[in-house]
Homo-oligomer: A and B are copies of this chain.
Amino acid sequence: MSESRMSPDNPSRPVSVSDVDSWHETVDVLIVGYGAAGACAAIEAAEAGADTLVLERASGGGGTTALAGGVVYLGGGTRVQKACGFDDSPVEMLRYLEASTPNPDPEKFRLYAEGSVMHFDWLVSQGVPFKDSLHEERVIQPANDDCLFWSGNEKSWPYREIAVPAPRGHKVQGEGDAGSVLFARLDEAAKRAGVRVRCDSRVLKLVLDEGGAVVGLIAHQDGEDRAFRARGGVLLCAGGFAMNEAMLQRHLSRLVGRVTPIGNPYDDGAGLRLGMSARGAGIHLNEYHITVPFYPPESLTFGILVNGQGQRFIAEDAYHGRIGEAASQQLMGTVYLIVDEPIFGRPIIEGFEIAAVEQSVDGLERALSLPEGSLQKTVDLFNHYAEMGEDPVLHKQPAWLRPLKEAPFAAFDCSFGKAPYMAFSLGGLWTKPTGEVLTEDGEAIEGLFAAGRSCCGVSRSAEGYVSGTSIGDATFFGRLAGRTAAARRTKVDR
């Protein structure tokens, strides 16, 4: 390929196969990106007998997974759930996912819930360690090597009334962040399966034939642009677009300047844009995960979150992402966490300023410039019911209810735009559960597949996001896409 044909960052423009002078290499399955999705896809493709090559832009694999905590959302009765005494089922898991997501993908959800136990076992068979232990504290993720924890809204209203709650966050065994442990095991498994991985290989373009099918790609490697042909297909596993400022501005402008994007530097939407070059449709590009991690310490859950009207707006025992979304939607973004003396503690995440400390709720109300009487009325009502162990207003669990009555009273500023909020993109290519990329008309694009954050998976809304669905989706549907791409090679061969 001549360098001149390749503009530096325009993956949404494809190359015609007639413009390819020669193929540098021909394989069965080409995988773009070597994070959790790419690794799982590669393992399955290779084990299905496909000659599988992964091209990774960075100098090493891992993607965002290797930077993450290593939580996998799994349920339906995994080994760890059983060992910890939880009686989960695929039906309850599916009920929870569907109830908590305003824009579900019914087929992906069903497969994910039904296949969850087998997927857990598969991860274990690849060497991924999970400890048979429950972490009971309310945390963002266990800091130690515990596995199972409540990583979503399962016990929060209204979900606890819709689906039998069970903890489904499975953290890979390891102190602190364990995403690197997960990826290391997947990497080893991939190598064992015969997968070839080439790092420092940036994919620039897809190559399309006359009918619009994807037949290969152009990658920049060893200082030159090389054409790679794929018999089975190209599988995009190149992450989301949290690190692409222009795309954030275009699709998620309300977050810009107010959140810290979470991701790796190459989460620049290249997967999505490559897919769009072959007419793949992007869906839910306006969706995101957002969090305002004011806990731990878990004692802060006893506090109440109020907006600029001095009103509560969400049960404080909800998942931090669901709280983050609700908080970010309050008028002018104003949100305070109100606590009293016995439950006071500093959020372990830095950046939550104390907006006021006063000897009375009334004083706090004035110090925060809330409408006179508003916070007082809210606290009175909350306390009245909390004394009885009830919260008819927002249905916080009784275990987190106690009246706020011991001075001093404090307010942490949790306002959107001031407090620490983190976010990443959830939108991506529209795919079938098999990974086949679809056009806006629902036509599957020949030879093109996607998995992980390059497509829109089971985590697809700020309201419904729970920890572990990113890696859960990436590994689960990465595998499926790898198998589909490998199978297509056989069909094409015949």
Contacts of A17-70 to chain B: CB distance below 8 A:
18
**Would B285 and A102 count as touching, CB distance under 8 A?**
no
- Contact flag A9-B272 (CB < 8 Å), given A254-B103, A285-B285, A286-B286: no
Confirm or deny: A265 has a beta carbon within 8 angstroms of a beta carbon on chain B. no
Q: Which residue in B14, B254, B282, B377 is a CB contact (below 8 Å) of A281?
A: B282
Residues of B within 8 A of A224 (CB): none
A-B pairs with beta carbons under 8 Å apart, 29 shown: A9-B441, A10-B441, A10-B443, A11-B441, A12-B281, A12-B439, A12-B441, A12-B443, A13-B212, A13-B279, A13-B441, A102-B254, A104-B253, A246-B442, A247-B440, A250-B283, A251-B283, A272-B440, A273-B441, A276-B440, A277-B439, A285-B285, A286-B286, A286-B287, A309-B312, A372-B392, A373-B381, A373-B384, A377-B381
Closest 7 CB pairs of A and B: A286-B286, A371-B392, A12-B439, A377-B377, A12-B441, A103-B253, A102-B254
Confirm or deny: A394 has a beta carbon within 8 angstroms of a beta carbon on chain B. yes
Residues of B within 8 A of A397 (CB): none
Besides A12-B281, A331-B394, 20 more A-B contacts (Cβ < 8 Å) are A9-B441, A10-B443, A12-B443, A13-B212, A13-B439, A18-B210, A251-B283, A251-B284, A276-B281, A276-B440, A277-B279, A279-B279, A282-B282, A285-B286, A309-B313, A314-B331, A371-B392, A371-B393, A373-B384, A374-B393
Confirm or deny: A434 has a beta carbon within 8 angstroms of a beta carbon on chain B. no
Residues of B within 8 A of A10 (CB): 439, 441, 443
Contacts of A356-382 to chain B: CB distance below 8 A:
371-374, 377, 380-381
Query: Closest residue to A392 on the B side, CB-wise?
Result: B371
Confirm or deny: A398 has a beta carbon within 8 angstroms of a beta carbon on chain B. no
Confirm or deny: A85 has a beta carbon within 8 angstroms of a beta carbon on chain B. no
- Contact flag A440-B392 (CB < 8 Å), given A103-B253, A254-B102, A311-B309: no
CA distance A318 to B278 in the complex (A): 44
CA distance A297 to B326 in the complex (A): 32
**Would B276 and A102 count as touching, CB distance under 8 A?**
no
Confirm or deny: A490 has a beta carbon within 8 angstroms of a beta carbon on chain B. no
Residues of B within 8 A of A381 (CB): 371, 373-374, 377
Distance from A376 Cβ to chain B, minimum over Cβ atoms (Å): 10
Residues of B within 8 A of A282 (CB): 281-282, 440
CA distance A393 to B370 in the complex (A): 8
Distance from A204 Cβ to chain B, minimum over Cβ atoms (Å): 12
- The size of the chain A interface, using a CB distance under 8 A, is 60
Confirm or deny: A409 has a beta carbon within 8 angstroms of a beta carbon on chain B. no
Residues of B within 8 A of A158 (CB): 332
Confirm or deny: A403 has a beta carbon within 8 angstroms of a beta carbon on chain B. no
Confirm or deny: A329 has a beta carbon within 8 angstroms of a beta carbon on chain B. yes
Query: Closest residue to A251 on the B side, CB-wise?
Result: B283
CA distance A18 to B210 in the complex (A): 10
CA distance A160 to B441 in the complex (A): 43
Residues of B within 8 A of A261 (CB): none
Residues of B within 8 A of A332 (CB): 158
Query: Closest residue to A391 on the B side, CB-wise?
Result: B371
Confirm or deny: A430 has a beta carbon within 8 angstroms of a beta carbon on chain B. yes
CA distance A38 to B288 in the complex (A): 35
